[in-house]
Amino acid sequence: MWGWPVKRLALQPQVSSWKAKAMSAVAAEAAVTAIPSRNTSSRLIYFSSSSDNTHRFMVKLGMDAARLPIYTKEETLLAQVPFVLILPTYGGENRSGAVPKQVIKFLNVEQNRKLIRGVVGAGNTNFGETYCLAGDIVAEKCKVQHLYRFELMGTSEDVARVREGLEEFWTRLSQTKALA
Partner 1 sequence: MTPEKLKLASHVTAINWNRIEDDKDVEVWNRLCNNFWLPEKVPLSNDIQSWATLTPEEQLLTMRVFTGLTLLDTLQGTVGAVSLIPDAITPHEEAVYTNIAFMESVHAKSYSSIFSTLCSTKEIDEAFRWSVENVNLQKKAQIIESYYYGDDPLKRKIASTLLESFLFYSGFYLPMYWSSRAKLTNTADMIRLIIRDEAVHGYYIGYKYQKGLEGVPEERKEELKAWTFELLFELYENEVQYTHDLYDSVGLAEDVKKFLHYNANKALMNLGYEAMFPAAVTDVNPAILSALSPNADENHDFFSGSGSSYVIGKAVNTEDDDWDF
Q: Which residues lie near partner 1 (CB under 8 A)?
A: 49-53, 56, 82, 90-93, 95-97, 99, 101, 104, 107-108, 110, 113-118, 124-129, 131-133, 136-137, 141-149, 151-153, 155-157, 161-162, 164-165, 168-169, 172-173, 176, 178
- Indicate the residue among 41 and 145 with the shorter CB distance to partner 1: 145
- Indicate the residue among 36 and 91 with the shorter CB distance to partner 1: 91
- Classify residue 137 as exposed, middle or buried by CB count within 10 Å of its CB (0-12, 13-18, 19+): buried
- Indicate the residue among 11 and 106 with the shorter CB distance to partner 1: 106
Shortest Å distance, C-beta 5 to partner 1: 15
Shortest Å distance, C-beta 127 to partner 1: 6
167-178 burial code (b ≥16 CB/10 A, e <16) = eebbeebeeeee
- Indicate the residue among 23 and 36 with the shorter CB distance to partner 1: 36
d(CA 75, CA 70): 10
In terms of DSSP H, where are the helices of 65-132?
Answer: 101-107, 110-115
Length of the chain: 180
